[in-house]
């Protein structure tokens, strides 16, 4: 697969990167047609980034990459190329480029290789809310007549653009290829999610971010980061290392880590725009529950506005406020931005109403898979349950095990009926995962098979009950062992509802 219209010289790709080159005499003659860190994707003329990882070490695949036609290798110091590999076109030695941080250099090379990016890029980080915020921001921009896109957990989304499924923060080559394609498509504004994994692994380096938002920080991914301090440090890279100098940091004034984040942003010389409660630059003066959502009073730019938000949950109000602040930071008029809130649609799998039983019980699907997210969705939907509040959930395997008992306790405290089932057990014993949840939820009912749990719970709903199927949201598969099997909470719930007797 040739990824450019014309080859680039290696020196052009290296623009912005700082590498130790084993043979400087060949860099001007080496033509580059693509780059990747996956040896399976190497084609003739590619750069291969041999990156050490948590599970695999890319240096073990250098020989395979060279056999497939790699004409340059990026790696950590101390790496050696097997044999005496030569460029098949020039006959010159294959350049080996080394750096103590090869991941970052690979990302910078991807940025140079693909070049084009949308004019205005806003990145959003935080534990919860990223997907909703970028979805809302894209909708606001589009409503104001801008050609906009969002990218993250739901893939690359733009009107008229093929939706490309990706990781929340994809590999730098895939990320920058998407940025180039969006720019060529005419997209001028992009809202993108920035995960802690992606930030710590330098996947966003080279992205020209002009605005960045921090939503919140609660327990998640501690199996990877180790503790909350390291988790926060990974998030802060968006502001200290990625956001352009003089850029704008949009911060949740009500967050537990607001002061620490604001201090880091001020030390980096960034502009600060705060949203949330009293004292914020964009202030939520009042929020009143109405049928199907909220009436909001918002102050911004010295003026006060009133609008409605057709979404349920206080956390959705916070997400909408983040999107408003980002849109205003991008130069939009506050009144026009706030007026767009009444047209917002929720992101797929985020407090998504999938249907009702003939008796009027409502069934929602939500992505909540952290203690804070589960607490938020249950508290948000409690006022809308005339009968019992029910929840079906589980926890993922090969992930932070400490949050399982926390989520069990939260479910027991906030819901009337708790069904514990499987989520994505991966390579862990699913029964052990459920047992860890049930230890903190002794009154919960255990139904191992997720489809059976959803089916039986919906069939048992009465008039006025409300059910939340939590944990997987928009996902279309369930990971059992190393296999991903087709599984869709939304579709299964709809099928069950359709089969209920009138």
Report, at the CATH architecture level, how domain 352-497 is classified: Alpha-Beta Complex (3.90)
Q: Tokens for 93, please give them.
A: 């030695």
Q: Considering the entire predicted model, what is its pTM?
A: 0.85
Residue with the bigger pLDDT between 401 and 228: it is: 401
User: What band does 393 get if pLDDT is binned at 50, 70 and 90?
Assistant: very high
pLDDT at 21 over 70: no
Name the segment(s) of the chain with CATH classification 3.40.1390.10.
8-101
Q: What is the pLDDT of residue 25?
A: 42
Name the segment(s) of the chain with CATH classification 3.90.190.20.
352-497
Which of the four CATH numbers 3.40.1190.10, 3.30.565.10, 3.40.50.2300, 3.90.550.10 does domain 116-343 have? 3.40.1190.10
- Three-state secondary structure call for residue 143: helix
CA 226 – CA 456 distance, rounded (Å): 38
Q: What is the pLDDT of residue 204?
A: 95
Q: Where are any strands of DSSP class E within 310-444?
A: 352-356, 362-366, 389-393, 417-420
pLDDT tens track for 294-338: 999 999 999 999 999 999 888 899 999 999 999 999 999 999 999
Phi, psi of 235, deg, nearest 5: -65, -40
**What residues are paired with 31 via a beta bridge?**
9
CA 322 – CA 485 distance, rounded (Å): 35
CA 405 – CA 316 distance, rounded (Å): 26
CA 420 – CA 430 distance, rounded (Å): 11
Name the segment(s) of the chain with CATH classification 3.40.1190.10.
116-343
Q: What is the pLDDT of residue 189?
A: 98
Element (H, E) at 284: strand 282-290
Q: What is the pLDDT of residue 397?
A: 96
Mean pLDDT confidence for 51-57: 87
- CA-closest candidate to residue 386, choices 454, 440, 441, 461: 461
CA 403 – CA 121 distance, rounded (Å): 33
Task: Return the HEC string of 172-224.
Answer: HHHHHHHHHHHHHCCCCEEEEECCHHHHHCCCCCCCCCCEEEECCCCCCCHHH
Looking from the CA of 339 toward its CB, the CA atoms found within 13 Å total 8
* Nearest-10 Cα torsion for 279, 342, 349, 488: 180
pLDDT at 208 over 80: yes
pLDDT tens track for 237-276: 999 999 999 999 999 999 888 999 999 999 999 999 999 9
Contact (CB, 8 A) for 318 and 254:
yes
pLDDT tens track for 148-185: 999 998 999 999 998 777 766 688 999 999 999 999 99
State the CB neighbour count (10 A cutoff) for residue 333: 13
Query: What is the assigned CATH class of domain 8-101?
Result: alpha beta
């Amino acid at each position: 697969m040739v990824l450019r219209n014309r080859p680039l010289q290696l020196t052009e790709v290296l623009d912005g990167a700082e590498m130790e080159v084993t043979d400087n005499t060949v860099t001007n003659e080496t033509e580059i047609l693509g780059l990747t860190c996956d040896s399976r994707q190497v084609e003739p003329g590619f750069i291969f980034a041999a990156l050490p990882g948590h599970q695999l070490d890319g240096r073990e695949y250098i020989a395979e990459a060279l056999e497939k036609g790699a004409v340059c290798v990026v790696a950590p110091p101390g790496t050696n190329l097997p044999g005496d590999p030569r460029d098949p076109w020039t006959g010159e030695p294959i350049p080996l480029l080394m750096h103590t941080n090869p991941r970052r250099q690979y990302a910078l090379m991807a940025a140079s290789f693909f070049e084009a990016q949308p004019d205005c890029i806003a990145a959003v980080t935080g534990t919860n809310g990223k997907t909703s915020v970028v979805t809302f921001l894209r909708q606001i921009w589009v409503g104001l007549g801008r050609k906009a896109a969002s990218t993250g957990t739901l893939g690359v989304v733009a009107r008229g653009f093929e939706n490309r499924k990706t990781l929340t923060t994809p590999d730098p080559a895939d990320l920058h290829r998407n940025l180039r394609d969006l720019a060529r498509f005419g997209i001028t504004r992009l809202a993108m999610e920035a995960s802690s994994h992606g930030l710590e692994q330098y996947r966003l380096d080279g992205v020209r971010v002009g605005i960045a938002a921090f939503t919140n920080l609660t327990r998640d991914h501690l199996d990877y980061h180790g503790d909350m301090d390291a988790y926060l440090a990974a998030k802060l890279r968006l502001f200290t290392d990625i956001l352009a100098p003089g850029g704008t940091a949009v911060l949740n004034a009500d967050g537990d880590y607001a002061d620490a984040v604001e201090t880091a942003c001020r030390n980096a010389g960034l502009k600060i725009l705060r949203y949330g409660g009293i004292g914020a630059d964009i202030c939520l003066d009042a929020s009143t529950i109405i049928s199907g959502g909220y009436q909001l009073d918002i102050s911004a730019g010295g003026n006060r506005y009133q609008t409605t938000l057709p979404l349920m949950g206080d956390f959705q109000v916070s997400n909408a406020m983040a999107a408003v602040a980002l849109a205003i930071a991008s130069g939009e008029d506050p009144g026009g931005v706030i007026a767009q809130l009444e047209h917002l649609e929720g992101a797929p799998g985020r407090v998504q109403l999938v249907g009702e039983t003939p008796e009027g019980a409502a069934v929602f699907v939500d992505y909540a898979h952290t203690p804070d997210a589960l607490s938020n969705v249950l508290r948000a939907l409690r006022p809308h349950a005339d009968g019992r509040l029910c929840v079906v959930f589980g926890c993922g395997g090969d992930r932070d095990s400490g949050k399982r008992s926390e989520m069990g306790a939260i479910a027991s405290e906030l819901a009337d009926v708790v069904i514990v089932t499987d989520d994505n057990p991966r390579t862990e014993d699913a029964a052990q995962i459920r047992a860890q949840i049930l230890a903190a939820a002794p009154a919960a009912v255990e139904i191992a098979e997720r489809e059976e749990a959803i089916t039986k719970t919906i069939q048992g709903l009465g008039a006025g009950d409300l059910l939340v199927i939590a944990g997987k949201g928009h996902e279309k598969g369930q990971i059992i062992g190393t296999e991903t099997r087709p599984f869709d909470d939304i579709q299964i719930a709809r099928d069950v509802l359709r089969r209920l007797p009138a």
